Structure 1
């Protein structure tokens, strides 16, 4: 069923019952449908996050159940071909980077946030399902790249993109010791990607938008998901221990920068440089 939907999305022909609609409406509907399809892993994963009771089920802790569910969904997507092995390798890297960051952030000396519930699958205070929250962002980028037939124009030199991505990741650690340089990094990314555009195809025509705008929009939706997750007490920031409060708007910038790093990883690990124009 999903394979048939994907084949239809990859074609340039609208579903016949929609052919009579105005073009703008057809494209809007296909854009929304492709976005929803790209979020398949995100939706399935967070459906469990929001529905599994905090006390767990049948004596199994919530965090352990979330890990089992996420592994099952990931295995199903790989088995059905919804994700390739190369894409699974990229997802694996997100787990590695995500776990390292989580372990640092929840450590006693840092305490940026915490996972308050018990679990058998906690390592260094981090439930192993947490890596899938980072992988979910990577999965979305990977799926959207294929479904929208993305092309990148005027991408900066790769070594510069990798350098900025590395500095962004490092700042998540070092800002506890030498200051937070996220806005300097944001300015650097702004200059680096100022001319970069992303070409995408909602239906049969190629549309364009600044890549920077895509980073900001994806970062916003990740920030929104973070608010929902902390509301359900999946994890908590120090100011949310007594009662829930909205995650500080400044985290939006952090997530947007994380999307820059995610994009760089996906672009390299999927071997899709033929779809990226790097000017000489």
Structure 2
């Protein structure tokens, strides 16, 4: 009987410990989700604006111009309220320009289009479109700061920078030459194979392979792209008649663009830390 009592007591104790661990894990997950949602403030506003202007026509100006005004207003609010720092706004502006250059080329080549009218369109591209790329930079910067991101085994810049440059160029050159995105994806695995992302949730450290984080961010951007095209932010040729799911192969494009984005953010973070030299265990 005494042994049975101890067995029951041990089972109760073990069950309580498991429950506490589960509740602790759920709390960490909720906190992580909250930090992620705060980091997504800019993208959320863009999606809300796309939905609002799609179903509720606004007066005086075309839809694309209202979207530009909303994006600019949100950018000012985030800076004034401290949701973004001045340095982060500089990074976002850089991404706006990078994205706008890509948009001008892709629209010219017929990859997608912006069929609606707008005073703020340049060569068929509305200026608000650059903010969709800038929102990716906004997420990366805020998530980096909120989760106190650090990197383990970051590859030499002599390998990472040329790879990022070729990835960006391939978005242009594949229209005239071979599309080497799958070769580049393989090189990404090789270059970043040993690199890990370290991040903190409530002071507790977690880690994830950097290549996996690239894929996850690219996949969620693909989901966001489907939502954006549904709200007619832009239009692929196969969506001219009726909306359809964006091809899953676009995940690879977003994955590669995320790598370029991440490298730029990592480089600027390194510069801000007074050019602290890369070490084997992080930056």
TM-score, normalised to structure 2's length? 0.87
- The residue that corresponds to 2:182 in the other structure is 183
Pair 1:187–1:76, CA change in 2 (3 A): same
Partner secondary structure for residue 45 of structure 1: helix
**Alignment-derived partner of residue 201 in structure 1:** 200
Residues 154-183 of structure 1: CA distance to partner in whole angstroms, max 9, x if unpaired? Answer: 000123211111111100000000110001
Match of 2:14 in 1: none
For 1:200, what is the secondary structure of its paired residue? strand
Q: Shift in Å at residue 42 of structure 1?
A: 1.0
Aligned to 2:236: 237
Q: Where in structure 2 are the equivalents of 1:115-264 lying within 5 Å?
A: 115-264=114-263
Kept after mapping to 1: 8 A contact 2:114/2:126: yes
Q: Determine the C-alpha separation between the residues in 2 that align with 1:182 and 1:272.
A: 31
Aligned to 2:59: 58
TM-superposed CA distance for 1:45, in Å, is: 1.7
User: Which structure: larger Rg?
Assistant: 2
Name the structure 1 match of 2:7. none
Number of residue-to-residue matches in the alignment? 260
Q: What are the residue-to-residue correspondences of 1:11-30 with 2, within 5 Å?
A: 22-30=23-31
Matched with 1:39 is 40
Deviations 1:92-151 (CA, angstroms, capped at 9, x unpaired): 1101110110000011xx100000100000001100000000000000000000110111
Instruction: State the shift of 1:81 in Å.
Output: 2.0
Q: Distance in 2 between matches of 1:45 and 1:245?
A: 21
Q: Deviations over 1:191-226 (max 9, x none)?
A: 000000001111221001101111100101110111
User: Structure 1 276/253 Cα, relative in aligned 2: closer, same or farther at 3 Å?
Assistant: farther
Which secondary structure state, in structure 1, belongs to the residue aligned with residue 176 of structure 2?
helix
Q: Deviation per CA, 1:2-52, whole angstroms, max 9, x where unpaired?
A: xxxxxxxxxxxxxxxxx9972211111111111111101111121111111
What is the TM-score normalised by the length of structure 1?
0.88
Greater mean alpha carbon deviation, residues 75-84 or residues 191-200: 75-84
3-state SS, counterpart of residue 244 of structure 1: coil
Contact 2:54–2:232, Cα closer than 8 Å, also in 1: no
| RMSD, matched Cα | 1.9
CA contact (8 A) 2:154 2:192 kept: yes
Q: Deviations over 1:67-98 (max 9, x none)?
A: 00000010111122221221111111101110
